[in-house]
Structure 1
Amino acid sequence: MQSIRGMHDILPKDTKYWQHVYNIAMDILSQASYQEIRTPIIEDTSLFLRGIGTDTDIVSKEMYSFEDRGRRNLTLRPEGTAPVARSLIQHKLYNEQPIQKLWYMGPMFRYERPQHGRQRQFHQLGLECYGSNSPVLDAEVIYLANQIIDSLECSKYTIEINSIGSSDTRQDYEKALRRYLSTYQLDLDGESQKRLIASPLTILDSKDPQTQEILLNAPIISDFLDREALIHFEKMQDYLSSMNIPFTINNHLVRGLDYYNSTVFEIKTNLLGTQDTICGGGRYDSLTQQLGGPAIPALGWGIGIERLLLLVQDKLDLPQNSELIYLALQGYEAEKKGLSLIPIFRNYDLRYEVDLSGSSFQKQVKRAHKKNALMCVIIGEEEASLQTLTVKWLKEYRQETCSRQQFIETLKLYKKEEVIR
């Protein structure tokens, strides 16, 4: 049996890096008063049809949808924003406090062609803030994404920002863009030709070199923004600068989901080939209304964990677990005495492993060496009858026999010295 194409196991040797990302995010976001939320991985399909948009690639090509035994149309979540919005509305979280700051980390699912940095099951760290249309929030949210990525020792990245205005602005801009691109229709790549009528904005995100060359002289959306949107965008830039966050304005930057408006941004790197976006986000002030709830301004982003770890995993020097105490036991009485030590290890926050092989002490000690253990505690019939322990200090190449109480005192001393170190 093999894992499904595009869906990978996270093996024990790698989980410490995933946990490190989670811990960094929790530390930074908790400090900024964000609370973690966990939504189901399966939602009603209509949530994504209404929230993301039927003309988007996600809905038209990539969703894992099915009918369950109750004849309900369900979908494995392809992104995290719509589920959080659904939860906000369902539980009326906006009544508890007007500003809701939420974050999550979990798996998402899209039927895409698997490649380096892109899988069919991928994991996303996401942030959603509801209740404010202030450009202060836009700047703070981008700052938090920057802080997390920077704290994970990722250095080679850029922050690109843009404003795509209101829905009316985008409609006017789409007409102008469609008119311009129609004169080059046959020169566009095949995918962009298909998008020209239904979603011309998404052509701006094309990776095709010839299409990108055509777009160089295309109209830009900033020329269509109203005064309110321009002021919002300018203030956000001032706030970013006040926090020493470097950024560039990318007039062609759009996001591939219909719910975005006003501010959009991406954090990119040139180290991952075509899969260059580490983080993407923006405003979606009408999403809750689209889903049947009250109109609540909102802003958020998502960071792809797999891509982020491709950039930083080799650089991360994670703290080692406390050194291992290895228990080598032989015989029923010895096993009882060995197991009675486990609560003590727990009290002193010491890592341990019990050898379950039943093999000779020589082989058990060899295993302890292979695991780079600090010590191997040997209890056999003789030790059990004499109420003693044999302790082999593997890194110091010395051995001692002691009573249980003496051993506990030794652990206390070791733990104290470890704390000092």
Structure 2
Amino acid sequence: MSEVKYSIPRGTQDILPGESEKWQYIENKARDLCARYRYREIRTPMFEQTELFARGVGDTTDIVQKEMYTFEDKGGRSLTLRPEGTASTVRSFVDQKMHGWADQPVKLFYIGPMFRYERPQSGRMRQFVQFGVEAMGSSDPAIDAEVIGLAMDFYRELGLKGVKLVLNSLGDQESRENHRNALISHFEPVIGELCSDCQARLEKNPLRILDCKKDRDHEKMAAAPSILDYLNEESKAYFETVKSYLEAMGIPYEVDPGLVRGLDYYNNTAFEIMIDGEGFGAITTLMGGGRYNGLVEEIGGPETPGIGFALSIERLLMALESQGITLPVNHGIDAYMVALGDAAKAHVPKLVHELRSAGLSVDTDYLNRKMKGQMKAAGRLHARYALILGDEELEAGTIEVKHMETGNQETIQISELAAYLQAGSVKGV
């Protein structure tokens, strides 16, 4: 019988010890920042009804047309692994009647895996992790600035350099309709020269033509009508107010009329944060977001404005690595227990358990190594102390504590060991 070899599915990754601590640090940073901004965590299912994404994300998007992992369950229902977080969060907002909560707007964040069937490449996986925030219930331009400020603070506090905020306004429904008609008139004479996707989008959603990767160099792309020329007075005033708040907050930005978010639900404020870092290639988008007034109603809820963003943790880690930024991750432990002698070894499980219960990170030998091997293990684990317990020390109620950094060694009463190590951990000695 031939041996079966199982390999990791294409477009996924194993995050091993040594790397997972970086993820934990970033996730904790996101949670801390959201707590300061008063955004609370939501956890939605990994899969939803397929129709949710077709209606919420938009049936003209690449995500819905080409990239979703869709399957039929045993009850004949069509389900889809979530390709992004906003539609699920809005579905929960409607389903759980959050619009009736006394505390408005409802401000939420999520961290979790998303799934898209794409061609795997650097920074683009088939299973990837997104951190995102959503604020629903306010049409105040100030909350647009707040959401953008949260995103900028996140990258700033992680130490990223060369981060750039790019803004655009997609306008309200009236502005978008006027722009839509102008785009149809602009592209209709040459539509046969564009790809099949663009041809299908001409009538359904011509704005998506501007986001096409295949035809980006076509002469008609650069000459396409700008949405900023079709904003009505209300949309113009809204955009100007958002920009004024960002200026007051000291957040620099660039306006790019060609910025088109890849999801159908955006209107008014749209934004991306990009990075131009050496070793990270050309200017690359780290995250994107925008306002989505109308999405809650599309999913069956009452009229409720909303705004949010999502970013890829994988892409963030690539950016940090490209700039040589080392996250302050602690890979060490407080102490490593070295046992010498049968009686000492028999006592170690109890002592290690007591130290762990006291809040200390402690490990010990489980391979019956000699003292030299145990001390090497303590070094590999970056232990602050080596705790050396022999049969004689056990009988005397003492233990030898070696400071691994200095090499100094002292004798401590076993009964006082936890307090001694706790004090040393606080002092950092």
**Deviations 1:250-285 (CA, angstroms, capped at 9, x unpaired):** 111111111111111111123444682111111111
Q: Does 2:316 align with 1:294?
A: no
Kindly state the Cα deviation for residue 248 of structure 1 after the two structures are TM-superposed: 1.1
Q: Does 2:101 align with 1:101?
A: no
Task: Name the SS of the counterpart of 2:107 in structure 1.
Answer: strand
Which one of the candidate residues 10, 30, 38 is aligned to 1:33?
38
Contact 1:112 1:120 in 2 (8 A): yes
1:242–1:212 CA distance, 2 compared to 1 (3 A): farther
Amino acid at match of 1:340: K
Question: Partners in 1 of 2:228 and 2:249 — Cα distance?
Answer: 24
Which one of the candidate residues 138, 145, 166 is aligned to 1:139?
145
**Deviations 1:63-111 (CA, angstroms, capped at 9, x unpaired):** 0010112222111100000101111111111211231001111110000
Q: Percent identity?
A: 39
Which residue pairs with 1:266 in the alignment?
272
1:100–1:378 CA distance, 2 compared to 1 (3 A): same
Which one of the candidate residues 67, 74, 83 is aligned to 2:72?
67
Contact 2:273 2:288 in 1 (8 A): yes
Which one of the candidate residues 349, 354, 360 is aligned to 1:350?
360
Which residue pairs with 1:341 in the alignment?
351
Any stretches of 5+ residues in structure 2 without a counterpart?
1-5
Which one of the candidate residues 180, 191, 202 is aligned to 1:196?
202
Contact 1:188 1:210 in 2 (8 A): no
Kindly state the Cα deviation for residue 337 of structure 1 after the two structures are TM-superposed: 2.5
Contact 1:188 1:211 in 2 (8 A): no
Which residue pairs with 1:252 in the alignment?
258
Kindly state the Cα deviation for residue 131 of structure 1 after the two structures are TM-superposed: 0.5
Kindly state the Cα deviation for residue 348 of structure 1 after the two structures are TM-superposed: 5.2
Kindly state the Cα deviation for residue 23 of structure 1 after the two structures are TM-superposed: 1.9
Q: Does 2:62 align with 1:52?
A: no
Amino acid at match of 2:157: S
**Deviations 1:200-234 (CA, angstroms, capped at 9, x unpaired):** 21222234576364322221112222211111111
Which residue pairs with 1:316 in the alignment?
326
Which one of the candidate residues 235, 250, 256 is aligned to 1:229?
235
Q: How does 1:116-195 map to 2 (within 5 A)?
A: 116-185=122-191, 187-188=193-194, 191-195=197-201
Kindly state the Cα deviation for residue 320 of structure 1 after the two structures are TM-superposed: 2.9
Which residue pairs with 1:306 in the alignment?
314
Which residue pairs with 1:397 in the alignment?
407
Question: Partners in 1 of 2:180 and 2:392 — Cα distance?
Answer: 85
Question: Once superposed, what is the RMSD of the aligned Cα atoms?
Answer: 2.3
Amino acid at match of 1:156: G
Question: Partners in 2 of 1:145 and 1:402 — Cα distance?
Answer: 49
Task: Name the SS of the counterpart of 1:170 in structure 2.
Answer: helix
Contact 2:194 2:215 in 1 (8 A): no
Question: Partners in 1 of 2:139 and 2:380 — Cα distance?
Answer: 58
Kindly state the Cα deviation for residue 305 of structure 1 after the two structures are TM-superposed: 1.1
Give the count of matched residue pairs: 419
Contact 1:76 1:108 in 2 (8 A): yes
Any stretches of 5+ residues in structure 1 without a counterpart?
none
Question: Partners in 2 of 1:17 and 1:377 — Cα distance?
Answer: 29
Kindly state the Cα deviation for residue 139 of structure 1 after the two structures are TM-superposed: 1.3
1:107–1:312 CA distance, 2 compared to 1 (3 A): same
Kindly state the Cα deviation for residue 368 of structure 1 after the two structures are TM-superposed: 1.7
Q: Does 2:376 align with 1:370?
A: no
Question: Partners in 2 of 1:185 and 1:192 — Cα distance?
Answer: 8
1:406–1:33 CA distance, 2 compared to 1 (3 A): closer
**Deviations 1:279-309 (CA, angstroms, capped at 9, x unpaired):** 1111111111111111111111111111111
Contact 1:324 1:373 in 2 (8 A): yes
1:251–1:304 CA distance, 2 compared to 1 (3 A): same
Task: Name the SS of the counterpart of 2:19 in structure 1.
Answer: helix
Once the two structures are overlaid, the 10-residue window that deviates more, 227-236 or 387-396, is 387-396
**Deviations 1:92-134 (CA, angstroms, capped at 9, x unpaired):** 1121123100111111000011111111111111010011111
Normalising by structure 2, report the TM-score: 0.90
Q: Does 2:424 align with 1:417?
A: no
Contact 2:33 2:150 in 1 (8 A): yes
Question: Partners in 1 of 2:147 and 2:163 — Cα distance?
Answer: 17
Which residue pairs with 1:16 in the alignment?
21
Which residue pairs with 1:87 in the alignment?
92
1:158–1:323 CA distance, 2 compared to 1 (3 A): same
Which residue pairs with 2:3 in the alignment?
none
1:416–1:239 CA distance, 2 compared to 1 (3 A): closer
Contact 1:189 1:211 in 2 (8 A): no
**Deviations 1:300-350 (CA, angstroms, capped at 9, x unpaired):** 111111111111143034053564311123566424422233355336543
